[in-house]
Structure 1
Amino acid sequence: MRQPIVSAINIVSIDLPLQRPIVSSVGHYTKWPFIITEITLDNGVVGNSYICPYLVNYTRPIASMIRELFKIFENKPLAPSDFYETGMRQLSLLGRSGIAMYALAALDIAFWDASAKNADLPLCEHLGGTIAEVKAYNSGGLWLLTPEQLAVEAQELRKEGDFSSLKIRLGRKTLDQDLRAIEAVRGQMSSDDDLLCDFNQVLSFTEAIRRLHGLDDQGLYWFEEPIPYYEFRNYAELRQRISTPLILGENFHGIDHATLSLELGSGDAIMPDLMRIGGISGWLKTAALAEAYKKPLSSHLYHEVSAHLMRVTPTADYLEWMN
């Protein structure tokens, strides 16, 4: 059967107000940027994707990069896996990270969406999996707020979709402040519910040793990115000093970062981000690595697509859900 031809692209950039502003160690944000990509095939099928590059002032150059990269695939038969490999080779001189990787991811997700629609299948079935429930937690709040604010938000987040598991952001000025924040959220949860935490890379290695020791008995599901993500050897050292699992990976730019981290034993689990890892093709390669290294894999953002990918990820753990 003839594969449809990739014939056109349309890109729209928008900034949406956040229901709950982000208040974290990396900044305070009230809006969230979206770049929406539509790929049209010659049979009328349209594949869609969206990426969120965090900073509202940088959508224009990323959209321009998407348009330029699309020219390589225009008027060619749809072949997402082949397109990904071609794109990675094309990006070698630019570097396989940053906005170049974001652009490839935007196209890759849209190509796979078009491929699944052309086959008239849900994405997970198109990739060889089946539709079923995935374990998920609500990540749509619990930023660096007061204990009183956290208690109210924890109640709200649990009611959104009947979630039992939540994620809190840590890394305040003192250990005591983090402990009081945990206590406020725990007060709204059952004893067998999972509470995950994210430090957003705010600690130095020396600070992390002290802080994580002070939190190691809190029964948290994991410590996420306590130190800068690229300090892979320091992550490996931290793992030897604490008992709570360490997770990193949302800042892996492509499978090269994932490979290095896994080779060095940097984390107990990994968390690829669909945009930064290189789209669906990059995710599938990373999932294979996670299986080879026997590491649980959780998702970062993009729950509409990631839910499908978790169903074809052998070591799938938690889906991050954020409204």
Structure 2
Amino acid sequence: MDISKFKIVDVKARPVLVPFRIPPTTASAKIEDCALVLIDIETNEDLIGHSYLFVYSKAMLSPTVECIEGIKPLLANQIIEPLELDNYLKKKFRIHNTGGILGQVLSGLDMAFWDAFSQYLRQPLCRVLGGSIKPIPTYNSCGLFIQDPEKIGKEAINLVAEGGFQAIKARVGRPNFKDDLKTLNNIRDSIGEDISLMCDFNQSLNVNEAIYRCRSLDYEGLDWIEDPIRHDDYEGCARIASEITTPLQIGENLINTYEMQKAIDVMAADFYMPDVQRIGGVTGWLRAAAIAHVNDIDLSSHLFPEISCHLLAVTPTCHWLEYMDWANPVLENPIQVNNGFVEPPNIPGSGVSWNEKAVKKFLVT
């Protein structure tokens, strides 16, 4: 097995628009359809590395695909060594702003490189990264969006039951804070005291309003309060964290580990949840996990449970895997949740592959 002979022969990107099982409506936005870009790294060994990007809206599908097409010539005949490819692409785009589409594309390519690399080594990704297949605690994040507080209790019961979940997350940030409190109380009455409950403001508040609301939520028995204000206001987050006793969770919008370190330096939060699409793919996650380890900070994931379960399996301060089923309609083998835990699949690679019949159905042309 000579890795120097394992090379890229083609890169393909396909845009799909997949319906949500439960359309997400938050205090900041409503997303109508699940816009994904499917990435395939074809190799000279007839192995294909897979990954996908969630681009939030149909309008972002075309520019994301075009960005991948623009990078493709740089990857022709490159050896699939993920860390070397990360260094190579970082140098190529050093003077570019990698905080937007380009950064997400580089992350998506990195995920596909690692998938192909792990397949070549005939090992699950988590084992290639030095870890083992083990159960990762998982919370259900597929529902409890902004809705009538009186009707949310039944949905909460269903979300707990569908995978034996021991934790779920609710979205808050309604114009009238009393409706948020009513929502959380109705959920708690429905699921009981033994199920963990988190809440997410989706960056919908200013600092003063956030302090007021989060202080009140200190009495609700929440495992964390997530993203109350603008994601890059680290000093504002630090003010809020210092005023409340419930742990503050941020991090899904961190675009690299340098930003993560800035946030940690000002004590912006208690917990962090990087998004593998934004933090730099598998390679970026490993660096984020090292920073979290040094600072003894619990690390959870944001979206992308298929690859995040592998990454949390090698994260020393592993906390929670966020379960989202958004890509399930185009996946050949969606991950399974059993009694509130997910295990990385015991097959070579990340386990991501496509249901080609569904891809054809949802393809945007």
Pick the TM interval, shorter chain: over 0.9
Contact 2:111 2:282 in 1 (8 A): yes
Displacement of 1:101 in angstroms is 0.6
Alignment of 1:188-267 (within 5 A): 188-267=190-269
Answering whether residue 199 of structure 2 is matched by residue 185 of structure 1, we say no
Answering whether residue 2 of structure 2 is matched by residue 2 of structure 1, we say yes
Aligned to 1:104: 106
Aligned residues between the structures: 323
- Residue 188 of structure 1: SS of its match in structure 2? helix
Aligned to 2:22: 20
Contact 1:287 1:315 in 2 (8 A): yes
Contact 1:143 1:168 in 2 (8 A): yes
**Alpha-carbon deviations, 1:129-169, whole Å to 9, x = none?**
00010000000000111123211211211121111210000
Displacement of 1:231 in angstroms is 0.4
Displacement of 1:67 in angstroms is 2.1
Measured in 2, the distance between the counterparts of 1:161 and 1:90 equals 44
Runs of 5+ consecutive residues of structure 2 not aligned to the other structure: 326-365
Aligned to 2:164: 162
Aligned to 2:42: 40
Structure 2 letter corresponding to 1:238: I
Aligned to 1:57: 59
Measured in 2, the distance between the counterparts of 1:101 and 1:259 equals 18
Contact 2:31 2:56 in 1 (8 A): no
**Alpha-carbon deviations, 1:262-293, whole Å to 9, x = none?**
12211101100011111111111111111111
Displacement of 1:307 in angstroms is 0.4
Measured in 2, the distance between the counterparts of 1:27 and 1:234 equals 22
Aligned to 2:355: none
Percent same amino acid among aligned pairs? 33
Measured in 2, the distance between the counterparts of 1:195 and 1:172 equals 18
Aligned pair partner of 2:152 in 131, 144, 150:
150
Contact 1:70 1:107 in 2 (8 A): no
Runs of 5+ consecutive residues of structure 1 not aligned to the other structure: none
Contact 2:31 2:57 in 1 (8 A): no
Contact 1:13 1:33 in 2 (8 A): yes
Measured in 2, the distance between the counterparts of 1:66 and 1:291 equals 33
Structure 1 letter corresponding to 2:267: G
**Alpha-carbon deviations, 1:209-259, whole Å to 9, x = none?**
111111111110001000001000111111111000001000011222112
Tell which deviates more after alignment, 173-182 or 296-305: 173-182
> Which 4+ residue blocks in structure 1 deviate beyond 6 angstroms?
none
Answering whether residue 300 of structure 2 is matched by residue 309 of structure 1, we say no
Tell which deviates more after alignment, 94-103 or 115-124: 94-103
Aligned to 1:122: 124
Measured in 2, the distance between the counterparts of 1:255 and 1:90 equals 19
Displacement of 1:118 in angstroms is 0.5
Measured in 1, the distance between the counterparts of 2:179 and 2:318 equals 32
Tell which deviates more after alignment, 63-72 or 286-295: 63-72
Contact 1:165 1:193 in 2 (8 A): yes
- Residue 109 of structure 1: SS of its match in structure 2? helix
Structure 1 letter corresponding to 2:29: G
Measured in 2, the distance between the counterparts of 1:84 and 1:198 equals 32
Displacement of 1:260 in angstroms is 1.0
**Alpha-carbon deviations, 1:34-75, whole Å to 9, x = none?**
100000111111100001011111111111111222322220
Displacement of 1:92 in angstroms is 2.2
Give the alignment's Cα RMSD to 1 decimal.
1.1
Answering whether residue 142 of structure 2 is matched by residue 140 of structure 1, we say yes
- Residue 18 of structure 1: SS of its match in structure 2? coil
Aligned to 1:67: 69
Aligned pair partner of 1:82 in 81, 84, 101:
84
**Alpha-carbon deviations, 1:108-143, whole Å to 9, x = none?**
000000000001101101111000100000000001
Tell which deviates more after alignment, 110-119 or 231-240: 231-240
Q: Which has the higher contact order (CA 8 A, sep 6+)?
A: 2
Structure 1 letter corresponding to 2:192: S
Structure 2 letter corresponding to 1:165: A
